[in-house]
A and B are shown apart, each in its own frame.
Chain A
Amino acid sequence: MGFLDIRNVTKSYGAVKVLHSVDIQVEEGEFLVLVGPSGCGKSTLLNMIAGLETISGGEIAIKDRVVNGVHPSKRNIAMVFQSYALYPNMTVGQNITFGLEMHGTPKPERERALAEVAKLLQIDHLLDRKPGQLSGGQRQRVAMGRALVRDPDVFLFDEPLSNLDAKLRVDMRTEIKKLHHKLKRTIVYVTHDQIEALTLSTRIAVMNKGYVQQLGTPKEIYDSPANLFVATFMGSPAMNIITAKLVIEGGRAQAEITDANGKPLRLAFSSGNFTAWEGREILLGIRPEAITDPEGADRNSHNIQPLHNMVTVTEPAGADTFVTMTLSGKDVIARMRADASVQPHQPFDFAVNMEKAVAFDPKTGDRIITA
């Protein structure tokens, strides 16, 4: 039993089902991120944990207490909203302590809690201001302060950083991560930003169309995506998906693809038993950073395969250079060091780290498991 249990939870609006039996167990101190495209049901699930939406089926338990039907204020949760939802007529201090006041905490205790939180978030000097007199980042901190001061069992965040500009977002992301390390509280965090998901979480639930597609650690999600959706949603640029034919030669499974000129070439898988797939079509998934110049290849990898192909475009992007080529008739992106000596419209010797390659069933889109 987890600290926060989401058991077989469904949500319907009339005849429309927007969440299909979601099952997630969150341990104490975990940072669970719900990630997925717009409209996949992340906020709905979070609001159901908060008690702001009714639960159509299944149950949610916090600390082994089923909370279906329990009022939001009695669930011992705190929530940070995307819009921050600061009370405009109250000062920062009043905003932060409003919850304590409503729960009947005596004034001296409120002041003490406020001082503590203000110090933690470095907003001591803002306590007498109104929300309208704060910058976006400061409002964000106040919203977090309001959640922290309550000392709840579970923190719920609904896209708390999406209203900030790019630089501030990265800073606040680090702050939240630090805060989690320091306080070790249980957090459920909604975002549609896969980088946020990967950097912050201890576990990720990737959602699409009301289904949890995969639940796992950031590494599991990134390295072993359960299906094509997860593979392409997580990671930027997205994982390259290349149509290939599976051949087995000398006992070794190889993906046969074609280069820019339509000439066949083969990339051997590291391991795995692909006999069931021999001669069939598969989808080969390779992350951009697994295709490099030979010098830039991962030294710890036991399976670097050469690939000679024409370069279509090179896009220097500061630290990295993105190189596009054509494989099996589709654009494939490689991510290289900035100083890789690669030229557009020239043939180039790529190095493919096939240890990181994954294969998908073209019909179902599920990853082919070859244990």
Chain B
Amino acid sequence: MSVAAQDTAVSTGRITRAFIYLILLLFALFYLLPLYVMGVNSVKPLSEITGGNMMALPKEWTLDPWRSAWSTAQIGVNPTGLKPYFLTSILMVVPAVAISTMLGAINGYILTKWRFKGDTIIFGLMLFSCFIPFQIVLIPMARVLGMLGMAGSIQGLILVHVVYGLGFSTLYFRNYYAAFPTELVRAAQIDGAGFFRIFWRIMLPVSGPIAVVCVIWQFTNIWNDFLFGASFGGTTQPMTVALNNLVQSSTGVKEYNVHFAAAILAAIPTLIVYIVAGRYFVRGLMAGSVKG
């Protein structure tokens, strides 16, 4: 494949290249524009926004909107800023991502290397869960959480997200492990490794790329989720719900600079995950296990 890619790279002329870069640049600008607007307006006093040009750089630089968004802004009835909700989100998203990824890995391992009767049906059902819209499960989920006594708690939210994430994480790992040579598992069996040891020592160490994909996917989805948070969060609401409450509040002046800062705060964790995890998104970990 790399050879083919090189071929096209060589055969495209300079003009074509310049054209492609120009288009890409335009697209990049187009997508970066909102971020720019959010960025500059979050460091202006409110008067500069209401008074004129949204695109202009601030005349007077200030970090007050950020401070306010983080710790003093009025969210609902309390002037707490986003800080407590941010913590709630972290406390929810980290275990939810970890558990759903881990369970997805184990599911994928079983579904490919420890085949049993009916495994394809089970996998099919799990796959099906990827396509169920959130809204459909709201009421049954509320009942289940109620019966478990987990309604309105972080644990409840974690459970909901784990259950909802399992379909995708299983799909990722199953497809990845399907290409993993079964002979390695057999060799490990002969070597005397059991079910979990094979998983820990043989499968997991080479699962880096797919784990990263899965983590990025789950993290983004769970962090950005609004519906489950608003429905099942109760008093422990995640960041997205708080952001909504802040921006939608009908009382007082609309502090756009604070809203922009809050929105960026809400987006930062997913950006960090992309930037950090992307670096580990490397292929080729499988090289050399079997003759290729």
**A347 to nearest B CB, angstroms?**
51
Q: Is the CB of B192 within 8 A of A87?
A: no
| Nearest 6 interchain pairs by C-beta | A132-B288, A88-B289, A102-B192, A73-B192, A99-B191, A89-B205
Do A88 and B285 touch (CB < 8 A)? yes
Check A103–B192 contact: CB distance below 8 A: yes
Report yes or no: A139 in contact with B186, Cβ–Cβ below 8 A: no
Question: Is A81 touching B183 in the complex (CB atoms < 8 A)?
Answer: yes
Q: How far is the CA of A73 from the CA of B189 in the complex (A)?
A: 6
Q: Count the A residues whose beta carbon is within 8 Å of the partner chain — how many?
A: 32
B184 close to chain A: CB less than 8 A: yes
Q: Is B10 an interface residue (CB 8 A)?
A: no
Most chain A beta carbons < 10 A, residue from B184, B285, B291: B291
Residue on A nearest B287 in the bound complex, by CB:
A132
Contact partners of B40 in chain A: CB under 8 A: none
Docked-complex contact B187 and A139, CB < 8 angstroms = no
* Chain B neighbourhood of A131, CB < 8 A: 288-289
Query: CB-nearest residue of chain A relative to B189?
Result: A72
Q: In the complex where A130-B288, A131-B288 touch, is A85 in contact with B193 (Cβ < 8 A)?
A: no
23 pairs of residues in contact across A and B, judged by CB atoms under 8 Å: A52-B186, A72-B190, A73-B192, A73-B193, A79-B187, A81-B183, A81-B186, A83-B183, A83-B290, A85-B181, A85-B184, A85-B186, A88-B285, A88-B286, A99-B191, A99-B192, A130-B288, A131-B289, A132-B287, A132-B289, A136-B291, A146-B191, A150-B191
Which residues of chain A come closer than 8 Å to B188, judged between CB atoms?
A: 87, 98
| B192:A85 contact, CB within 8 angstroms | no
CB within 8 Å for A88 and B206 given contacts A79-B190, A98-B188, A139-B291? yes
A78 at the interface (CB under 8 A from B): yes
Q: Does A120 contact B (CB under 8 A)?
A: no
The answer on a CB contact under 8 Å between A89 and B206 is yes
Q: Do A85 and B187 touch (CB < 8 A)?
A: yes
Q: B20 to chain A: closest CB distance in Å?
A: 34
Bound complex: CA A25 to CA B183 (Å) = 27
B residues at A contact (CB < 8 Å): 181, 183-184, 186-193, 197, 201-202, 205-206, 285-291
Chain A residues whose CB sits within 8 angstroms of the CB of B184 once the complex forms: 85, 87-88
User: Which of the residues B181, B190, B201, B206 comes within 8 Å of A83, measured between beta carbons?
Assistant: B181
Whole-angstrom distance from the CB of A128 to the nearest CB of chain B?
14
CB distance from A135 to the nearest CB of B (A): 10
Q: How far is the CA of A289 from the CA of B206 in the complex (A)?
A: 53
A99 to B192, CA, bound (A): 6
Q: Give B204's nearest chain A residue, CB to CB.
A: A89
Chain A nearest CB from B146 CB (Å) reads 45
Given A73-B192, A99-B192: A85 and B183 within 8 A (CB)?
Answer: yes
Please report the C-alpha to C-alpha distance between residue A77 and residue B192 in the assembled complex, in whole angstroms: 11
Q: Is A84 positioned at the interface, with any CB of B under 8 Å from its CB?
A: yes
In this complex, what residue of B is CB-closest to A131? Answer: B288
Tell whether, in the assembled complex, residue A84 and residue B186 are in contact, meaning their CB atoms are under 8 Å apart: no
A83 surroundings in chain B (CB, below 8 A): 181, 183, 290-291
The answer to whether A139 and B191 touch (CB under 8 A), given A81-B183, A87-B184, is no
Interface string of A63-105 (1 = CB under 8 A from B): 0000000011100011101111111110000000011001100
- Give chain A residues whose Cβ lies under 8 Å from the Cβ of B193: 73, 98, 102
Binary CB contact string for chain A from 104 to 125 against chain B (1 if under 8 A, 0 otherwise): 0000000000000000000000
